[in-house]
Structure 1
Amino acid sequence: MSLPKRLVVGLSGASGMPYALDLLKTLRRIPGLETHLVMTQGAKRVLLEEVGTRPEAVEALADVVHRSSDLGAAVASGSFRTLGMVVVPCSATTLAKVAYGLADNLLTRAAYVTLKERRPLVLVPRETPLPLPSLEAMVKAAQAGAVILPAAPGFYHRPAQIDDLLAFITQRILDLFDLDYPRAPRWKEAVELELD
Structure 2
Amino acid sequence: MQNQQTKKLTLAAMMTAVLIILGVFPGIPLGFIPVPIILQNMGVLLTTELLGAKYGTLSTALFLALALFGLPVLSGGRGGFAVFLGPTGGYLIAWLLVPAVLGSLLYLLKQHNRLSWWLELVTVMIAGVLLIDIIGSIWLSVQSHMSLTTALLSNVAFLPGDMIKATLSVILARRLRKIPALQGIF
Q: Which TM-score applies when normalising by structure 2?
A: 0.31
More helix by share: 2
Q: Which TM-score applies when normalising by structure 1?
A: 0.30
